[in-house]
Structure 1
Amino acid sequence: MSFPAYPGYKHSGVELLGELPEHWTLKRFKNVFEERAERSADGLEELLSVSAYFGIKPRSESRDEGDHLSRAESLEGYKVCHPGDLVINIMLAWNRGLGFSWQSGIVSPAYCVFHVTDGSSPKFLDYLVRSDECIRYFKTHSAGIMDSRLRLYPESFGRLFTAIPPTCEQTQIARFLDHETARIDALIEEQQRLIELLKEKRQAVISHTLTKGLDPTAPMKDSGVEWLGEVPAHWDVSRLKYHSTRIGDGLHSTPEYDDAGDYFFINGNNLVGGAITISPTTRKVNRQEFLKHRVLLDSSTILISINGTIGNLALYSGEPVILGKSAAYINCTESLSPRFCLYLFSSEQIKRFFESQLTGTTIYNLSLRTIAEVPTPLPSIDEQNSIIEFLNRNVDGFDELIDNAMKLAQLLQERRSALISAAVTGKIDVRGWQPPASVPSPELVEEAV
């Protein structure tokens, strides 16, 4: 679906804004908003949070299990916001850390709260300030030397310009975007459900094959391990330590870095999708440091993350690396194929076993002893190779379908962002748009100004 441009445009005089429809008004944000100074007397109002993903919502709905509602002893003195107010996290405005609240509540004293003073539609303004163009504009005018330290102070925000259409047009733009974004969001959610279903089926194929084998007629026996269940009668079930020559982890200290070095210092986060991934931020060491801290890694080696993020996996393929403490290595004997071991560690049964053995409260750890003692269902090496070939074919098929669905979801998200930006900056004219007759018009949130 395409939409027409406006009949006429004028230059805004602001390089980052470019042209705007000729009947729109160029304003500074300080002529659209006024900062609200109201503070909570007792801190009993609903605590709200700001997110790049969902804008403003109750903190109780967005916190992770086990998180505190707030680390402050009292919320007295927190800033009050009302329905239709703009809340900005000045430290994350450059990363879309702002949005409009549609309910009364309180927010952190470090945030800024603004109410609309010029009669504009808060719903339109919410789309506007969270659009890609505005976020880039905010980042350009934020103070700081790096992203993590950027601040959009209220005075700087107030001096920035924006293009404001007539109020009735704002309402129409918001109405159009409510309808179109809801339609796109439904398509994205459909792709996300498909991705989860494909991942579940992929995982089921791996887990079933690694515990039941390829022959559905093979006699079965009790593995002797409750969570493993029955396995083919001719398979061996024994501890992993009996099928590895060495199990260890990496360096428990910091090596001497050398940006001109030819070797890399990796940790568990460098193990991605079954391979070692070197990123632009991966630190380097020189040959002397490499020789000092290297461990024996070869074609029999599988790597697994054991600290923080648990269970990332990779096969070692000769990369010039030394390991940090969050990466463990298993050197397999001739009775265990490293790729079979990699698939085994990615099965639901083994992952659940590892999860049950984790230590730590905020940062989880998987011990080398747990890895060594994990019960391992093991067919002959020939059967392992047959299973690997079967899984490679089937897993690759699932991975391709998952990748296609993820790409489509990303394209839809990009389409959503582009449509919002085009509408709120006047690149498309939606004044004549009407929702399809079969679709009820979306209800706009009641706007408090």
Structure 2
Amino acid sequence: MKTRELNDEISLNKNFRIDGFCKIVRGNTGLKKDELLDAGDYVALQYGKTYKVDVVDETFNFFVNEEYFKESQVVNQGDTILISTSETIEDLGHSCFYDRKDLGLLGGEQILLKPKSNSINGKYLYYFSKFFKTELQKYATGLKVFRFNIDDLKRISFHIPPLPEQTAIANYLDQKTTTIDKKTELLNQKIENYKKLRKAIINKAVTKGLDNKVELKESEIDWIGKIPKHWEVKRFKEFAQTIKGKNLEFYETQVENSLPNLSLEYLRNDSVVFETYVKADDKNLIANENDLIIIWDGAGVGEILYGKKGVISSTTAKLKFSNIINAQFFSFLRFNVEYRLKNIPTGMGIPHLNPNELKNFMCPIPPIKEQSQIAEYLDQKTATIDKMVENLQTQITTLQHLRKVLINDAVTGKIKVV
């Protein structure tokens, strides 16, 4: 449709399908993360890099050279990029605005919206994509990975205001969202500062204790440094043992005497619903919320997590402590332990925890009474910090909701901008 014809149609207040005013391009350039450069001929719009980005501007520094060039995959300033595949339904249809003068190349798992004429303001189109994202999600297919296709996108139609009004709406939203984004960034910085403070408080307490005047001695362990003179340094095997999970028969539905299979994904994420059940005759394989579980195999090797009610999987192990260790004290010490264990896995393909490294891992151990005091102190301190972080995250959620409502109301005419 020519510019004059499109302008005439817009003036009639008609509804338009997206493909009526946009060229829709499916991304098919094979851009791999390990092939991206710090400088190059074209901006590399690789799926993993655009997934959470709202604007691709001069701060987006991922490039590829001429050999990746495809005319059909060129992205110009003013274009909008949609994420067409996602592991979460909430992120499906996420869009980002291309705001650079140099050319970009579209990667896979993305769809490009390219205005067909100068009757469409690119920034207005970008903001409208935030509105129709919810509509796109209605067409999602898949169970663990969600996606939509171009035909689904073409089903969406909406009213387009005249170009001057589009521009006014885009400018209004630029101003309002910038203000919200600055507030959000400030809150995120506060959260990061609280997290650093939390980490520092824990590290000091589990390696130096609570008495600032206590006499110290060399631990002769690099990562520990000096410890209180009355503390000991013990190998992990002197105060704990591991109970390794086993390969057990899976059930797709819950049967008598079965419990959830404690997969890594289920342990890490409270929102994940377990999909498989197992039976365990060996009661040692059953965990609960007070147990600590270490990842034995895979990408998370060395990570130590709180358990849930269920049966430990073959890629994990449950920690069992002797009476010389307070489990809650170790739950705070574990942050130091897992950081170092993650850096010494074995295996050429799938990484595995080195059992000898774990058994001989040296840890600072105060007297059992002092362990309890440290654990109680850290429970109180971390609870206070966690509450502050939770409050800040609530503020961020409120701002993000306000941002969404503001965009939706502006692009649909509920807010009169002009």
Quick check: TM above 0.5? yes
Matches within 5 A, 1:102-141: 102-103=99-100, 104-108=103-107, 111-118=110-117, 119-131=119-131, 134-141=132-139
Residue 54 in structure 1 maps to residue 53 in structure 2: yes
Determine the structure 1 residue equivalent to 2:32: none
Determine the structure 2 residue equivalent to 1:250: 245
Determine the structure 2 residue equivalent to 1:220: 216
Write the deviation string for residues 350-409 of structure 1: whole angstroms up to 9, x where unpaired: 344223323457854433332221111111111111111111111111111111111111
CA distance in 1, matches of 2:272, 2:340: 31
Matches within 5 A, 1:106-185: 106-108=105-107, 111-118=110-117, 119-131=119-131, 134-141=132-139, 144=141, 146=143, 148=145, 150-153=147-150, 155-185=151-181
Determine the structure 1 residue equivalent to 2:343: 356
CA distance in 2, matches of 1:418, 1:335: 56
CA distance in 1, matches of 2:85, 2:238: 53
CA distance in 2, matches of 1:361, 1:183: 49
Determine the structure 2 residue equivalent to 1:305: 295
CA distance in 2, matches of 1:197, 1:58: 27
TM-score normalised to structure 2 length:
0.80
Gap regions ≥5 residues in structure 1: 1-21, 432-449
Letter in 2 for 1:54: V
Determine the structure 2 residue equivalent to 1:96: 93
Aligned match of 2:280 in 290, 304, 310? 290
Write the deviation string for residues 44-68 of structure 1: whole angstroms up to 9, x where unpaired: 64432353422564899477xxxx9
Change (3 A) 1:172 1:73: closer
**Cα drift, residue 126 of structure 1:** 0.6
CA distance in 1, matches of 2:42, 2:316: 46
Report percent identity of matched pairs. 21
**Cα drift, residue 419 of structure 1:** 0.9
CA distance in 2, matches of 1:31, 1:249: 60
Change (3 A) 1:413 1:111: closer
Residue 416 in structure 1 maps to residue 406 in structure 2: no
Residue 333 in structure 1 maps to residue 330 in structure 2: no
Letter in 1 for 2:105: I
SS in 2 for 1:259: coil
| Contact 1:39 1:78 (8 Å CA) reproduced | no
Change (3 A) 1:120 1:225: same
Determine the structure 2 residue equivalent to 1:378: 365
Change (3 A) 1:240 1:171: same
CA distance in 2, matches of 1:55, 1:395: 33
SS in 1 for 2:114: strand
**Cα drift, residue 418 of structure 1:** 1.4
Change (3 A) 1:356 1:159: closer
Letter in 2 for 1:48: L
| Contact 2:57 2:98 (8 Å CA) reproduced | no
Change (3 A) 1:360 1:404: farther
Letter in 2 for 1:256: F
| Contact 1:38 1:79 (8 Å CA) reproduced | yes
CA distance in 2, matches of 1:179, 1:305: 46
| Contact 1:89 1:112 (8 Å CA) reproduced | yes
CA distance in 2, matches of 1:299, 1:91: 34
Deviates more, 1:368-377 or 1:332-341: 368-377
Change (3 A) 1:374 1:62: farther
CA distance in 2, matches of 1:199, 1:423: 36
Letter in 1 for 2:134: R
CA distance in 1, matches of 2:283, 2:235: 28
Deviates more, 1:31-40 or 1:47-56: 31-40
CA distance in 1, matches of 2:200, 2:27: 55
Letter in 1 for 2:184: I
CA distance in 2, matches of 1:371, 1:151: 45
| Contact 1:269 1:309 (8 Å CA) reproduced | no
SS in 2 for 1:238: strand
TM-score normalised to structure 1 length:
0.75
Question: How big is the alpha-carbon RMSD for the aligned residues of Structure 1 and Structure 2?
Answer: 3.6
Determine the structure 2 residue equivalent to 1:439: none
CA distance in 1, matches of 2:26, 2:242: 60
Deviates more, 1:416-425 or 1:299-308: 299-308
Letter in 2 for 1:95: L
**Cα drift, residue 110 of structure 1:** 6.7
| Contact 2:233 2:364 (8 Å CA) reproduced | yes
Determine the structure 2 residue equivalent to 1:193: 189
Change (3 A) 1:233 1:91: closer
CA distance in 1, matches of 2:199, 2:352: 24
CA distance in 2, matches of 1:266, 1:298: 10
Determine the structure 2 residue equivalent to 1:11: none
Write the deviation string for residues 60-103 of structure 1: whole angstroms up to 9, x where unpaired: 9477xxxx969x98555662232223444544698124444334
Residue 342 in structure 1 maps to residue 331 in structure 2: yes
Letter in 2 for 1:210: V
Count of paired positions: 387
Gap regions ≥5 residues in structure 2: 1-10, 30-39
Q: Which has the higher contact order (CA 8 A, sep 6+)?
A: 1
